[in-house]
Amino acid sequence: MLEVVDIHKRFAPDKPVLQGVSLALAREEILCLLGPSGCGKSTLLRVIAGLESPDRGEVRLRGVVITRLPPHRRGIGLMFQDYALFPHLDVAGNIGYGLRMQGVPAAERRARVDALLALVNLQGYARRTVDELSGGEQQRVALARTLAPNPALLLLDEPVANLDRLLRAELVQELRRILKTLHVTTIFVTHDQEEAFALADRVAVMHAGRIVQVDAPPQLYRRPANTFVAEFLGFRNLLPLLGAPTERQVSTAAGAFVLPEAAPKSLAPSARLLIPPDAAVLDAASPGATYVPFRGRVTATIFRGSLFQVEVTPATAAAACQLSFEFRNRGRQRLPQVGEDILLWLDTSQMLVVNDEEA
């Protein structure tokens, strides 16, 4: 459906923004560009929409090269984070704008606007002015406006970032429902992994103008490709390796572990052992064959509602080392106290050696 091939873009000679980005999208797929601010994800979106022209590389839509096509002839819908609703037009005027540009007759336009208003649950809003709308309503009008001309591809730049947290979760659900109903191929940009996981079929993680990993959300979460992705996804237990791993055995300040698979052959100095926060069980007996015992002293506890988080320093630690684990909060269970020595069971089958990005 969409192919992006080796796109390079720099705004100043010393400021490369995109450094060889390639990407392919299947029909009806929802792809998320995830990355920290300044990683080039919005610029990539603008290149695809035709608002920036790349220094090098090619954009193909349905097999046709559109790299030099002006934005108004691409048929690609684009929705900005700030929605950019036209303040001088009412809701119907905004939604119908793209159809007006196509020369669709007024009556047909009205019917289509009404259908779209129904789709985004805003029946009866046609004559409202843009100022009268709440943030969530503005977002839905912007979405309807972008969908109105039936774009071949939909680009959403941080579609729900401007809304408060409660509304956001709801609208992400709503958005996925609408996109899947209409079978629209979509790329959306976000820096929020929860949003990415909830909405996308596949997630492309960007870093410093490059795509560093493309995977479905579960794979991405279970197997981050490198330390950057792991850190960006919020993993905190990333332990430096002590010496080169021998086959499946790695040793760290928190102890030595035998992993389910062999570590990569060539490891960078910044390679880390990743222990997910949910890989620990607080129990007296071993929960299974892949679990190993781990003794440590509690340095902090944080209550987080359905979860509680415990910070532990390993009893065996030679250097300063702290691990953080999350446990499901089960009613009457006694929580560990700060200063207490505890026994945990760590699941080695969930551990993973993540290599450096450059290696």
State which of residues 63, 87, 288, 339 lies at the interface with other proteins (CB under 8 A). 87
Give the interface size with other proteins as a residue count (CB under 8 A): 28
What is the token pair recorded at 151? 């774009």
Answer yes or no whether residue 159 interacts with other proteins by CB under 8 A. no
Interface region with other proteins, contact rule CB under 8 A, candidates 16-24, 31-39, 65-73, 187-195: 65-73
Site for other proteins in 31-60 (CB under 8 A): 49-51
Per CB under 8 A, the list member of 80, 110, 167, 176 interacting with other proteins is: 80
CA–CA separation, 28 vs 201, rounded Å?
10
Backbone angles phi, psi at 152, to 5 degrees: -70, -30
Rule CB under 8 A: say whether 182 interacts with other proteins.
no
* 221 near other proteins, judged by CB under 8 A: no
d(CA 238, CA 10): 33
Q: Which of 77, 245, 255, 276 binds other proteins (CB under 8 A)?
A: 77
Is 70 a binding residue for other proteins by CB under 8 A? The answer is yes
Our finding on whether 78 is near other proteins (CB under 8 A) is yes
Using the rule CB under 8 A, is 149 a contact of other proteins? yes
The answer to the question of residue 343 lying near other proteins (CB under 8 A) is: no
Q: How far apart are CA 282 and CA 284, in angstroms?
A: 7
The first and second tokens of residue 55, run together, are: 């220094």
In terms of CB distance, is 79 or 274 closer to other proteins?
A: 79
Among residues 279, 170, 229, 205, the alpha carbon closest in space to that of 32 is found at: 205
- Single out the segment in contact with other proteins by CB under 8 A; choices: 92-100, 184-192, 239-247, 323-331: 92-100
Q: CB-wise, 156 or 267, nearer to other proteins?
A: 156
What are residue 56's DSSP bridge partners?
8
Compute the least distance from the CB of residue 88 to other proteins, in Å. Answer: 5
Q: Which residue among 86, 234, 246, 261 contacts other proteins (CB under 8 A)? A: 86
Measured from the CB atom, the residue of 145 and 207 that comes closer to other proteins is: 145
342 near 281, Cβ under 8 Å?
Answer: no
Given the structure tokens 């209409």, which residue do they identify?
A: 182
Shortest reach from residue 232's CB to other proteins, in Å: 27
- Indicate which single residue of 9, 109, 112, 145 sits in contact with other proteins (rule: CB under 8 A): 145
DSSP secondary structure string for all residues of 188-231: EEES-HHHHHHH-SEEEEEETTEEEEEE-HHHHHHS-SBHHHHH
Q: Does 135 bind other proteins (CB under 8 A)?
A: no
* Least distance CB 32 / other proteins (angstroms): 20
Question: 186 with 156: CB under 8 angstroms?
Answer: yes
> Do the Cβ atoms of 326 and 308 come closer than 8 Å?
yes
Interface region with other proteins, contact rule CB under 8 A, candidates 73-81, 114-122, 204-212, 292-300 = 73-81
Shortest distance (Å) from residue 300 CB to other proteins:
35
CA distances (Å), 55 to each of 35, 45, 339, in order? Answer: 22, 15, 58
- Count of residues for the chain? 359
What is the chain's alpha carbon radius of gyration, rounded to the nearest angstrom? 25
Nearer to other proteins, 36 or 71 (CB): 71
Question: Closest CB to other proteins among 42 and 193?
Answer: 42
Contact call for residue 82 and other proteins (CB under 8 A) = yes
Which spans in the chain are helix H? 41-49, 91-101, 106-119, 135-147, 165-182, 193-199, 217-222, 227-232
Biggest alpha carbon distance in the chain? 77
Residues lying near other proteins in the complex (CB under 8 A) are found at 49-51, 70-80, 82, 84, 86-88, 97-98, 100-102, 145-146, 148-149
